[in-house]
Chains A and B, each alone.
Chain A
Amino acid sequence: MGKLYVSRRSLLKGSAAAGVAIAAPTIFTSRAWASDFTNKPTGSSVTLGFNVPQSGVYADEGADQLRALQLAVEHLNGEGDGGMMNTFSSKALKGNGILGKKVEFVTGDTQTKTDAARASARSMIEKDGAIMITGGSSSGPAVAVQALCQEAGVIFMAGLTHANDTTGKDRRRNGFRHFFNSYMSGAALAPVLKNAYGADRKAYYLTADYNWGYTTEQAISQATEGVGWETVNKVLTPLGAGDFSSYIAPVLKSGADVLVLVHYGGDMVNSLTNAVQFGLRDAQANGKNFEIVVPLYSRLMAKGAGDNVKGIFGSTNWHWSLPDDGSKAFTKSFGTKYGFPPSQAAHTVYCQAILYADAVERSGSFHPCGVVEALEDFKFDGLGNGPTLYRADDHQCFKDVLVVRGKEKPESEFDLLEIVEKTPAKQVTYPHDHPQFAGGELGTCNAGTA
Chain B
Amino acid sequence: MAGHEPKLDTFPKYLLLNAERFGALPAMRHKDFGIWQSWSWKEQLEEVRALSIGLETLGVAHGERVAVVGANRPRLYWTIAALQCLGAVPVPVYADAVAEELAYVLDHAGVKFAVVQDQEQVDKILSFSEKIPNLGMIIYDEERGLGDYDHSRLISYANVQEAGRRQMEADRSAAARWEQNIRDASGDDISIMLYTSGTTGRSKGVVIGAAAAVQAAVDTAKFDHLNEHDSVLAYLPLAWVGDHYLNYAQGYVSGFCVNCPEGPETVTQDLREIGPTFYFAPPRVFEGLLTMVTIRMEDAGRIKKWLYNKYIGVARKYGEAILEGRPVPLSGRISYALGELFVYGPLKNTLGLSKVRVAYTAGEAIGEDLFSFFRSLGINLKQLYGQTEAFLYVTCQEDGAVRADAVGPAAPNVDVRISEDGEVQFKSPGMFSGYYLDDAKTAETMTEDGYVKTGDAGFFDKDGQLRIIDRAKDVGRLNTGALFSPKYVENVLKFFPNIKEAVAFGHDRDFCAVFINIDLTAVGNWAERNNISYASYQELASHPRVYEMIAAHVDDTNLKLSKEPMMAGAQIKRFLVLHKELDADDGELTRTQKVRRGFIGDRYGELIDALYDGSTEKYVETEVTYEDGRKGKLRATVKIADAKVYDVAAEPMREAAE
Do A and B truly interact? no
Task: Identify the B interface with A (CB < 8 A).
Answer: none
Task: Identify the A interface with B (CB < 8 A).
Answer: none
